[in-house]
Amino acid sequence: MPKIIALIVAIDDYPRPVPKLQGCLNDANAVKAYLEKRFKDTLVLKTLFDAQATRLNVLQTFEAHLGQATKEDIALFYYVGHGSQEATHPNFAEIEPDGKNETLVCYDSRVGDGLDLADKEMAAAIDKIAKKCNNVVTIFDCCHSGGVTRDIAEDTVERSLDEFVRDSEYPARVRPWDSYILSSSDDTQGRAVINADTKYIVPNPRHIALTAALATQTAKETTLGRMRRGVFSFNLINILEASPVQMSYTDIINQLRALVANKVSDQTPQLDVEIPDDADKLFLNGAQQPDTDGYLLYYDPKTDYTWELNAGALMNIQPNSKIAIFPISTTNVRNFATKIGTGTISTVNPGSATVIPNLNLDTTLMYKAMIMQGAANKLKVAFNADVSYAAILQKAFSNSLSANTYLSLVASAAEADYILYVANGKISIGKKLDGVTGTRGAETPAMPVAADLQGLSAENAEKAVARLEHIARWQNVIDLGNPTSALSPNLFPMTVYQVKGKGPEETKTPITLQLTPDPKTGKNKLSNIVFSYNTDINLPRFQISVQNKSTQKVYVSLLLVSSQFGVVNCFPSGGYWLAPGEMTWSRKGALNVPVPFRLMGRKETIENYKLVISTEQFDATLLLQDDLDLYIPPATRSLGENAPNGLNQLLAGVQDRAVTFDDENEGGGPAYDWTTQVIQMKVKYTGV
């Protein structure tokens, strides 16, 4: 049975001159109690409290204790204490535009020649565990900036050392290179045996990170439940204990953001993952949560005591849209029979919207919501089927949420964007081509966009409609734009780099882009990039940087809107706040024309990379979806002995995804505004 290998580090009793905290051990003991109750038969727990939590002891215990985790186990690291920043080493300048490390302040960090535990050192430590364990989880209730000041509540203190740092010599000195603990070949003094002249790539190992705040924010502690607690940890444990079902990390972070925002200001909990699918894993469980829909509805006393939805214009939500409201534990928000009421969208911001419910809701609870109508531009679809099965398709369409929200059924193929073809016991989806229906005869689409559904059942009719809805959601992201925005995309340049080699031999070469107008939005589209390759062994690789050259802070998210109807997050987290002058990087990726495309004679694809820029934080994960499974020509469906010579090797040896990302990478209130811009990458396969 998989084990939970957990290490809890908490520090209240910091030695002078570091200010003491009061709620960290309370938080740690609450987490400890939850783990012991929830995982009593599988938990292997170790704690380091106060004086035990020296920098070297934390790192050594991290490697020794969490190093026990096997491939199927869960390795959990929970830290609660002060967080800070320090000047980074020049070797890290490329990945730290602000010139600073984010750090954990250990018990001995500010005593004598003590050092903080830098984020680069944590990355190296996590990397060692992640090489053996597929499920590494870190939780940090600390902050990376701010001051030891008072917040809204009289007894609210920020867990940061920025004011102390500014008044001391600590940030002024640049740590020597050999003070960083970066590899398993460290000497007994904990100094990294790495030549300072050698290029060091900071790993971003596969792991899931829950953090109390953005790097530019503070994490608060106050009096909660009659004792000192961190606002983040207190609400995290309450959410976990209150839920009747296991929750995904995405569900947890969405609820945490709402609850923390209700209590304190300038603190937004974050979820960072290296593999996007990991966000949908169940908490401290390697299993994926089944796909769930819906948004979060919560009461926000800071916005004139209104009910708020965690989605807005960026999700194609419009004023006066109708929503269905469900209990927070509801797993199927498509079943409107289980709704407890409805609501109407009032004010719409980029990433949020105000809701007027038609019933009295408990302001201490959160709810799930689903758009019933008026949320999006509808995709026009037509059926090409005989009368009997057309009736089954019509029923599936009428019973689906899609009929009200995402799809519009039209009578003729000439009016349709996509067509369902039904013949020979199968259902195909085709795209209209150049103003014609795009059929061979009237039975098979000339351009099938997904694998056929075999069998004319009611279940397959529902699956076909669901696929059309999937395409409609994708089309909404493709079309996403704000023609009235005052934000100039020119102030947020994207640079595409061609990446060659790996590790110390890696090189990145910038590609010159040209600005061309986007006919849909009137804004700029960058669209002249072409990658060619002739072998699947050496796929073209790339990375994208985003810079803020404006004078205001903005929230940015970069989405791959793929040729296979998927929407993928190119950042490890949903997005980033970028201050003026700051830059951030996408994950590295590899481009590929999928084999099924090539078997149909398609030797190139176009991949869209959409940058969304907003003055309000938004949840980009609400836009994400998987690729549709690809259509494979009938003659090659079987991969057994009857397959054409060499096809087995071709299909088995190549990713079916057009873009794959590295598993391990380097790298009523205010008037909000948002805009988008797009890079189009054309990928050409020149092999045979």
Structure tokens of 301? 């006393």
- Return the half-sphere exposure (C-beta side, CA atoms, 13 A cut-off) of residue 262: 19
For the chain, the average pLDDT equals 80
User: Distance between CA atoms of 558 and 609, rounded to whole angstroms?
Assistant: 7
Which residue matches tokens 């769930």?
Answer: 292
CB atoms near residue 95 (< 10 Å):
16
Per-residue confidence band for 98, with pLDDT thresholds at 50, 70 and 90:
low
260 versus 598: which is more confidently predicted? 260
Given the structure tokens 């999928």, which residue do they identify? 594
- CATH code, 4-280: 3.40.50.1460
Q: Which of 82, 66, 234 is nearest to 137 (CA)?
A: 66
Task: Please check whether the domain covering 295-373 is classified as CATH 2.40.30.
Answer: yes
Q: How confident is the model at residue 636 (pLDDT cuts 50, 70, 90)?
A: very low
- What mean pLDDT is predicted for residues 513-521? 64
Confidence tier at 190 by pLDDT (50, 70, 90): very low
Q: Label residues 523-553 b or e (16+ Cβ within 10 Å = b).
A: bbbbbebebebeebeebbbbbbbbbbebeee
Say if residue 659's pLDDT is above 80.
no
When pLDDT is averaged across residues 475-480 and rounded to a whole number, the result is 89
The pLDDT of residue 641 is above 90 = no
Q: Is the pLDDT of residue 271 over 70?
A: yes
Q: Is 3 exposed, middle or buried (0-12, 13-18, 19+ CB in 10 A)?
A: middle
* Residue 503 DSSP one-character state: G
Cα distance between the two ends of the chain:
48
Range among 57-66, 399-408, 656-665 rated most confident: 57-66
> Mean pLDDT over residues 505-520, rounded?
74
- Give the residue-averaged pLDDT of 303-313: 84
At 651, the pLDDT band (50, 70, 90 cuts) reads very low
Q: How far apart are CA 585 and CA 566, in angstroms?
A: 21
For residues 322-345, one letter each, b for 16 or more C-beta atoms within 10 angstroms of the residue's C-beta and e for the rest, the string is bbbbbebebeebeeeeebeebbeb
CA distance 142 to 158: 9
Q: Give the model confidence (pLDDT) of 412-433 as tens digits.
A: 888 888 988 888 888 988 876 5
Distance CA 63, CA 129 (A): 7
Which residues, at least 6 apart from 6, have a Cβ–Cβ distance to it below 8 Å? 35, 43, 44, 45, 46, 75, 76, 77, 78
Spell out the SS3 assignment of 540-580. CEEEEEEECCCCCCEEEEEEEECCCCCEEECCCECCEEECC
Distance (Å, rounded) from C-alpha 458 to C-alpha 395? 9
pLDDT mean over 478-492: 88
Residues in the chain, total: 688
CATH of 379-479, one of 3.30.160, 3.90.580, 3.60.21, 2.60.40: 3.30.160
Q: Which segments of 346-457 does DSSP mark as H helices, in order?
A: 387-399, 402-405
Average pLDDT over every residue of 480-494: 88
Structure tokens at 178: 């050999």
Residue 51 has pLDDT above 80, yes or no: yes
- Identify the bridge partners of residue 561 per DSSP, sorted by sequence position: 567, 608
Q: What does the domain layout of the chain look like in residue ranges? A: 4-280, 295-373, 379-479, 489-685
Distance (Å, whole) CA 563 – CA 606: 6
Burial category of 84 from C-beta neighbours within 10 Å (exposed 0-12, middle 13-18, buried 19 and up)? buried
Judge whether 583 and 98 are in contact, CB under 8 Å.
Answer: no
- In angstroms, rounded to a whole number, what is the distance separating the alpha carbons of residues 474 and 455? 26
Quickly state the pLDDT bin for 89 (edges 50, 70, 90): confident
Contact 98, 119 (CB under 8 A): no
pLDDT at 264 over 70: yes
| 4-280 and 295-373 agree in CATH topology | no
Q: How far apart are CA 159 and CA 234, in angstroms?
A: 14
**Peptide bond preceding 17 in cis form (omega within 30 of 0):** yes
pTM reported for the whole predicted model: 0.77
pLDDT of residue 363: 87
Question: What are the Cα distances from residue 602, in Å, to 208, 244, 429, 684?
Answer: 37, 49, 17, 9
Helix 458-479 to helix 387-399 angle, to the nearest 10 degrees?
60
Dist. CA 286–CA 248, nearest whole Å: 10
Place of tokens 């993952």: 273
